[in-house]
Amino acid sequence: MLKWAFVFLLIAIVAGIFGFSGISEASATIAQWLFGIFVVLFIGAIVIGLAIGSKLMS
């Protein structure tokens, strides 16, 4: 899934360079959504890891 975030980020950058506003806007929106999803998943993984880690240490 992270691979798709990078793919859409690259598409947004290339489209922005060429000035295709419709393509760059759509690609940037997808990249922003994927970034937000991955940030939430990352924070969730940290919280779960800390909760499980504290139980394992005690």
pLDDT tens for the chain, residues 1 to 58: 678 778 877 877 777 777 666 766 777 788 888 888 888 998 988 888 888 877 777 6
- pLDDT confidence of residue 20: 62
Alpha helix positions (H), 1-20:
2-18
Residue 12 neighbours by CB under 8 Å, 6+ apart: 24, 27, 28, 30, 31
For the chain, the straight-line distance linking the first and the last C-alpha, in angstroms and rounded, comes to 34
- pLDDT confidence of residue 1: 65
Q: Give me 54's structure tokens.
A: 């504290």
Integer CA distances (angstroms), 44 to 18, 39, 47, in order? 37, 9, 5
